[in-house]
Amino acid sequence: MKTVKKAIIPAAGLGTRFLPATKAMPKEMLPIVDRPTIEYIVEEAIESGIEDIIIVTGKGKRAIEDHFDRNLELEDNLKGKGKLELLDKVNQSSKVEIHYIRQKEPKGLGHAVWCARKFIGNEPFAVLLGDDIVRTQGEEKPALRQLIDQFEETESSIVGVQQVPESETHRYGVIDPLTIEGRRYQVSNFVEKPEQGTAPSNLAIMGRYVFTPEIFDFLDRQEIGAGGEIQLTDAIQGLNELQKVYAYDFEGTRYDVGEKLGFVKTTVDLALENEEIREELYRYLAQKLEESKLMK
């Protein structure tokens, strides 16, 4: 069995929820404290054992490529001023081999993954969505590494899931579980954004996947699904009818940075992990809480 060494990161979305900020800046480059969102995703992939990453971009996304490239003028400036710790932080983003391909038309997530098919070839691969940051603590493995371990055990495609409130199931792809073994589910059906009140479970697909290359047989069909787009979930359902596709309830805190409130929550939580600003931020949040109490 081939090991999972390649990953696709779809990053071609228009970022309309964050306009006007994303008019000229890719949403994947919006900063969470002092690092762009996509850097957290790339870091998880590398920590999970991924060696080759392809980012599927779109028009106006050159900033992503520039970020993961070296900036010799900036490096020389920091070195000359003795800012070596900051220099190391800047260089972290250019220490991995990343490839790029452009999705020429916004046809959906399934189409974005399909665009990278020649890069993947006949190998198993991972997909990490840039709208989901997953943070693990202590000895917990990165979310993607957990899925890769499950793939190596089952030799089958694995989709990462977590529980969400039933009132939110219509926002996600949702699984219809058949059997459960620990945190792993065999799946009967994968349903993309079911109508309110019709979801078969509250186990939602959370932006982490490991696939066998046969998924491309279904993406090749370019079938239009929910929202008038080519949906990855539809291809997963097709693959599940050919070979088993499992779901795994991965450990870790998942942050939704694809919508405004989730982005703010992510920023606050990650800022509280930052030793440089943690204490002052705690004091500020406590002050705002007291002010809100006085206003009631």
Domains in the chain, CATH or no CATH each? 6-256 (3.90.550.10), 259-296 (no CATH)
How far apart are alpha carbons 59 and 180 in whole angstroms? 42
Outline where DSSP puts E strands in the chain.
6-10, 31-32, 35-36, 52-57, 98-102, 125-128, 132-135, 157-163, 173-181, 184-192, 203-211, 245-249, 253-256
Nearest to 108 by CA among 241, 19, 235, 243: 235
Angle CA 133–136–141, to nearest 5: 110
Mean pLDDT of all residues in 168-181: 89
Instruction: Match 């694809």 to its residue by tokens.
Output: 258
Answer for the pair 130, 7: CB distance below 8 angstroms, yes or no. no
* Structure confidence by residue, pLDDT tens digits, 133-146: 999 887 789 999 99
Q: At 14, give phi and psi (nearest 5°).
A: -80, -15
- List the single range of 60-74, 89-103, 183-197 with lowest mean pLDDT: 89-103
Do strands 253-256 and 132-135 pair parallel, antiparallel, or not at all (unpaired)? antiparallel
- Cis? peptide before 142, omega within 30° of 0: no
* Structure confidence by residue, pLDDT tens digits, 218-274: 998 888 877 788 889 899 999 999 899 999 999 999 999 988 999 999 999 999 999
**What pLDDT does 94 receive?**
59
**What pLDDT does 203 receive?**
93
- List the single range of 22-26, 108-112, 211-215, 250-254 with lowest mean pLDDT: 22-26
> How many of the other CB atoms lie within 10 Å of CB of 215?
27
